[in-house]
Structure 1
Amino acid sequence: MRIPKIFYFIILLWTCFGAQAQNKQVLYDFSEIPQSLMINPGVQSDFKWYAGIPGISGLSFQIGSSGVSAYDLFAADGIDFNTKFRNRLIGGMTRRDELSGTYQLELLNVGFRSQDPNVFYSFGIYNEGDAIGYWFEDYAILAIEGNADRLNQRFDLGDLKTRGEMMNVFHFGVNKKIDNKFTVGARGKIYSSIFDFNSTRNKGFFVTRPGQNNLLSSTINADMKWRTSGINALKNAASDDEIPSTILKRGFFGGNLGLGIDLGFTYQINKQTVFTASLLDLGFIYHSNDVENYTLKGDVTTEGVEVILPGDILDPSRDFWQDLVDDIEEILPFENNFKNYITFRPTKLNASLRYNWGEQSLRAADCDCGPNVNRSNRAQKFVNGVGGQLYVINRPRGPQTALTAFYQRRFGNVLAVKATYTADKFTYTNVGFGMNLQAGPVNLYVIADNLLAYRNIADSQYASFQLGLNIISWGKK
């Protein structure tokens, strides 16, 4: 039967696909780092130009699980695995629990200031993958425990919600300082999708009741879709050992295309207080290339297979299970089609309020010249900053939020550090740390999240890491 094969695939996908979170709270408004422009195109920047080192200028990954960790299931704690599986996975998780994550790899990232010193341009390409799968609670109960002791209980087919994608993103941004208080920015994007799968708008139920002509009567009411694009191209490439070339082709305008925009601003409330906000990935992708979709729609009730005794029992060619499958599929057809479809990007909102204090750090002249030499146009910045940040991302089961408190400290113009504490659905003890080192024109930053969990990675439900290397020039006034 074809439906169980897809169900097994979903199980494998949910348990093995690692790639939410997307919250880059340490990097956000860390203005010494050029990549902060990518999560707020309206950040206050003072670069003359910068260039990221391809492949390592912006590398990040995040993975989160709001349900169980590997330690919950595989720890040597003397509890039988089957008991832990039932108590912690089947009995301990709900349909709102998820496994999700993302990665991002910069292929090109360049920025430069125009002849108007108040305007800064940036452009580049990055590769991104994102996936999320919610725990299919009723499917798991039905598969593991069956329905024998659950008569009249409706199993919700809408528990199946998952999506994933990989793409290249081509972007061009403009950052403009309006006046001493207000800086705005916008970034246009072209999405080149490599592959996509999604099944997020499923409805229906399965229920078993006492039958009239048989012991039991089972009803399926379903309106389900599984949509894909690019999957067949990758499957065919795998058989011909051409996966890298296929990914390259589809990622550079050979796949499905879409458009998006990022918006952001920074507002200087007073000399020491700053408010920022950004709206990212407000966009869509139109899937018309290598599309294949699957549907299950209809309503059917069956009381099992009709058996005429004794002839049917003595017939060795009679396959009662296949007869039942054929009857159900005839009434409730499982079909595939090649219709185009549109997916919307997981839009993200950031907002922060920061209070600065301490003597402002000044950058020395670029050379050992006299005291009257023009200094670089690198802005003066306070030594200390403290504040809070709100993060919201749109997900299939509704918006997810995270709240962050942060402290930032600058040590001259060479070193800046930022510490964060974040509470979200994955953990309430997420302590993060970021370090930015400026050695002449060379800029290196390292960021990590959920540091307390590093004592036992297997017991962690969230992990995030970011690394980047850039060349920066501040030029002259």
Structure 2
Amino acid sequence: MKRNNILAYFIAAAGIFFCGTASAQALHSGYFLEGYTYRHLMNPAFEPERNYVSIPGIGNINMGTQSNVGLNTFLYPYGNGKLTTFMNSAVSSDEFLGKLKDNNRINMNMNLTLLSVGFRAWGGFNTFDVSLRSSTSLNLPRGLFEFMKVGMDGTNPVYEMDGLGISSNNYAEIALGHSHQINERLRIGAKVKALLGLGNASIKMTDMKVQMAENQWMVQANGELNASVKGLTLPTKGESGKTLNNPSEATLIDWGNMDIDSPGLSGYGMAVDLGATYKLLDNLTLSAALLDLGFISWSNTIKGATSNEPWLFDGFHNIAMGSDDPNGDKPLEDQLEDLGKDVENYASFHRTETGGKATKMLGATLNIGADYAFPLYDKLHFGFLSSTRINGPYSWSEGRLSANVSPVKWFDAGVNYGLSTFGSSFGWILNFHPCGFNFFVGMDHTLTKVTPQYIPVGNANTNVSLGFNITFGKRK
């Protein structure tokens, strides 16, 4: 039996999720830099230094990945500078499995600002943003890889795979924001966002395991699929005219004939950002924000579910010695192939509904910050930022300590160190903001070590953010 069939079909089903690359809204390394134009994306109470208008498409680009495992967990050197996967027998089970977590998580993030404008009016600062957002999260339990690597050769008779899942959310956002000074210490801000859904999909396995015994194997998989993408077609094997071993296979989704024709908007929604800053002391400012509190109502939804009855395999029977057996028995190779197909069919999804509707909440983010100006040199600030992503099984949290300096009015920079659900990371930002333009570049997660094959060592955490904007008007 091909032990990677379950994962192969899981990833094939995930092909509908665009190559999503966005839980991060903006560069966290710039949270405490007043000259950084896009601080308002992390707290709508923040007021940019000057009026501004973005260069379309390059005003703010932010993309990256977060993971509690690294590429070197799955890829290994294999003679003459080549690479091989963990499935190679040259890679020991102890070495590979020792690198895994109980739940191995990967996030892929992108936030692309198409247009952004900020200006002072109506007693405060106002922003208008149009952007593309994409976030894809994947959870792969340790039991899945243990089954793939050792299978029936291992000492563990039961491989638990609960929590296996993937979620992808892709939409355009139109946001109107206003930041207002209440008194000399308190400033508040809010944004209202219209959301245009481009595609949403999720696969969730709530109960999945493989139990092996001497005389019988049992496979159990209880899962559900939801996909909302305009123009998406997920035909069943019955509709595709495939040869069926039994009638129950007619409703199985035929991933090989998946198609997307004339994609477009497939959902609408709204969200709000709320934020505040409070100057507790002359050199200590506290801030807090709750972002992306909202939902999208999706249409064109395709739903599916796995068979919820355990599937049993009690061994091979009547093995033929040749391909032409007069009794109709099959050789071992053919029976192995049939077994693989049976497992594939069992772990795949039966389509249960097309053209339905579904409402999904966005993953919200809570930011809490403290900014301390060094008394002996007020151009040096120290900051602490706590960020928590509230997104069900794909939630995460991070704490980031930073040192930021503004030696001249037109330039500031910062370095920081963070600890999160995905491990530790080093971040930095360079921010140029003379009168006339703002250019920034930075990373919250910097790759510091790679193998000779340029594979990152350690967790696959990396991101990059940069942007160019035209500024005008008086400095605040």
After TM superposition, the score normalised by the length of structure 1 is 0.78
Supply the distance in 1 between the matched residues of 2:99 and 2:4 (Cα, whole angstroms): 24
CA deviation after TM superposition for structure 1 residue 18, in Å: 7.2
CA deviation after TM superposition for structure 1 residue 328, in Å: 8.6
Report the 3-state secondary structure (helix = DSSP H, G, I; strand = E; otherwise coil) of the residue aligned with 2:103: coil
Where in structure 2 are the equivalents of 1:252-331 lying within 5 Å? 254-289=265-300, 291-300=301-310, 302-304=312-314, 314-316=326-328
CA deviation after TM superposition for structure 1 residue 255, in Å: 2.0
User: Does structure 1 residue 193 correspond to structure 2 residue 197?
Assistant: yes
How many residue pairs match? The answer is: 432
On the 8 A contact 1:168/1:192 being kept in 2, the answer is yes
Question: Which deviations, in whole Å up to 9, do the C-alpha atoms of 1:57-95 show, x marking residues without a partner?
Answer: 001111133212348734479999534474444442123
Query: What amino acid sits opposite 1:400 in the alignment?
Result: W
Report the 3-state secondary structure (helix = DSSP H, G, I; strand = E; otherwise coil) of the residue aligned with 1:122: strand
The verdict on how the C-alpha distance between 1:403 and 1:325 changes in structure 2, with shifts beyond 3 A counting, is closer
Q: CA RMSD in A?
A: 3.9
Supply the distance in 2 between the matched residues of 1:86 and 1:19 (Cα, whole angstroms): 31
Which residue, out of 114, 121, 127, partners 2:121?
114
Which residue, out of 429, 432, 437, partners 2:432?
437
Report the 3-state secondary structure (helix = DSSP H, G, I; strand = E; otherwise coil) of the residue aligned with 2:28: coil
Supply the distance in 2 between the matched residues of 1:455 and 1:321 (Cα, whole angstroms): 40
Query: What amino acid sits opposite 2:432 in the alignment?
Result: L
CA deviation after TM superposition for structure 1 residue 427, in Å: 3.7
CA deviation after TM superposition for structure 1 residue 102, in Å: 0.5
Q: Which moved more, 1:268-277 or 1:448-457?
A: 448-457
CA deviation after TM superposition for structure 1 residue 293, in Å: 2.4
Supply the distance in 2 between the matched residues of 1:70 and 1:185 (Cα, whole angstroms): 43
Question: Which deviations, in whole Å up to 9, do the C-alpha atoms of 1:354-374 show, x marking residues without a partner?
Answer: 1114689xxxxxxxxxxxxxx
Supply the distance in 1 between the matched residues of 2:91 and 2:340 (Cα, whole angstroms): 34
Query: What amino acid sits opposite 1:343 in the alignment?
Result: K
CA deviation after TM superposition for structure 1 residue 342, in Å: 2.8
Question: Which deviations, in whole Å up to 9, do the C-alpha atoms of 1:111-133 show, x marking residues without a partner?
Answer: 222242xx222112111221121
Question: Which deviations, in whole Å up to 9, do the C-alpha atoms of 1:149-180 show, x marking residues without a partner?
Answer: 557x3322424122123221111112111111
User: Does structure 1 residue 391 correspond to structure 2 residue 387?
Assistant: yes
Supply the distance in 2 between the matched residues of 1:161 and 1:409 (Cα, whole angstroms): 42
On the 8 A contact 1:125/1:169 being kept in 2, the answer is yes
On the 8 A contact 1:96/1:397 being kept in 2, the answer is no
Report the 3-state secondary structure (helix = DSSP H, G, I; strand = E; otherwise coil) of the residue aligned with 2:209: strand
User: Does structure 1 residue 458 correspond to structure 2 residue 455?
Assistant: yes
Supply the distance in 1 between the matched residues of 2:312 and 2:173 (Cα, whole angstroms): 49
Supply the distance in 2 between the matched residues of 1:294 and 1:399 (Cα, whole angstroms): 24
User: Does structure 1 residue 156 correspond to structure 2 residue 160?
Assistant: yes
On the 8 A contact 2:104/2:142 being kept in 1, the answer is no
Report the 3-state secondary structure (helix = DSSP H, G, I; strand = E; otherwise coil) of the residue aligned with 1:8: helix
The verdict on how the C-alpha distance between 1:324 and 1:112 changes in structure 2, with shifts beyond 3 A counting, is same
CA deviation after TM superposition for structure 1 residue 458, in Å: 2.6
The verdict on how the C-alpha distance between 1:46 and 1:294 changes in structure 2, with shifts beyond 3 A counting, is same
Q: Which blocks of at least 5 consecutive residues in structure 2 are unaligned?
A: 236-258
User: Does structure 1 residue 94 correspond to structure 2 residue 93?
Assistant: no
Query: What amino acid sits opposite 1:73 in the alignment?
Result: L
Report the 3-state secondary structure (helix = DSSP H, G, I; strand = E; otherwise coil) of the residue aligned with 2:162: helix
Residue in 1 aligned with 2:62?
A: 60
On the 8 A contact 2:37/2:49 being kept in 1, the answer is no
CA deviation after TM superposition for structure 1 residue 412, in Å: 2.9
On the 8 A contact 2:47/2:125 being kept in 1, the answer is no
The verdict on how the C-alpha distance between 1:409 and 1:71 changes in structure 2, with shifts beyond 3 A counting, is same
Where in structure 2 are the equivalents of 1:104-143 lying within 5 Å? 104-116=111-123, 119-143=124-148
Report the 3-state secondary structure (helix = DSSP H, G, I; strand = E; otherwise coil) of the residue aligned with 2:100: coil
The verdict on how the C-alpha distance between 1:297 and 1:395 changes in structure 2, with shifts beyond 3 A counting, is same
The verdict on how the C-alpha distance between 1:286 and 1:203 changes in structure 2, with shifts beyond 3 A counting, is farther
Supply the distance in 1 between the matched residues of 2:397 and 2:269 (Cα, whole angstroms): 26
Residue in 1 aligned with 2:444?
A: 449
Report the 3-state secondary structure (helix = DSSP H, G, I; strand = E; otherwise coil) of the residue aligned with 2:308: strand
The verdict on how the C-alpha distance between 1:398 and 1:274 changes in structure 2, with shifts beyond 3 A counting, is same
The verdict on how the C-alpha distance between 1:225 and 1:358 changes in structure 2, with shifts beyond 3 A counting, is same
Question: Which deviations, in whole Å up to 9, do the C-alpha atoms of 1:314-338 show, x marking residues without a partner?
Answer: 4337676788789999999941122
The verdict on how the C-alpha distance between 1:150 and 1:313 changes in structure 2, with shifts beyond 3 A counting, is farther
Q: Which blocks of at least 5 consecutive residues in structure 1 are unaligned?
A: 211-215, 237-241, 361-381
On the 8 A contact 1:171/1:189 being kept in 2, the answer is yes
Supply the distance in 1 between the matched residues of 2:102 and 2:126 (Cα, whole angstroms): 44
User: Does structure 1 residue 354 correspond to structure 2 residue 371?
Assistant: yes
Question: Which deviations, in whole Å up to 9, do the C-alpha atoms of 1:266-325 show, x marking residues without a partner?
Answer: 111021110011111122222212x22221142235353795899x96433767678878
Supply the distance in 2 between the matched residues of 1:204 and 1:451 (Cα, whole angstroms): 36
Report the 3-state secondary structure (helix = DSSP H, G, I; strand = E; otherwise coil) of the residue aligned with 1:453: coil
On the 8 A contact 1:108/1:126 being kept in 2, the answer is yes
The verdict on how the C-alpha distance between 1:77 and 1:270 changes in structure 2, with shifts beyond 3 A counting, is farther
Higher RCO, 1 vs 2 (CA within 8 Å, ≥6 residues apart): 2
Where in structure 2 are the equivalents of 1:177-192 lying within 5 Å? 177-192=181-196
The verdict on how the C-alpha distance between 1:191 and 1:393 changes in structure 2, with shifts beyond 3 A counting, is same
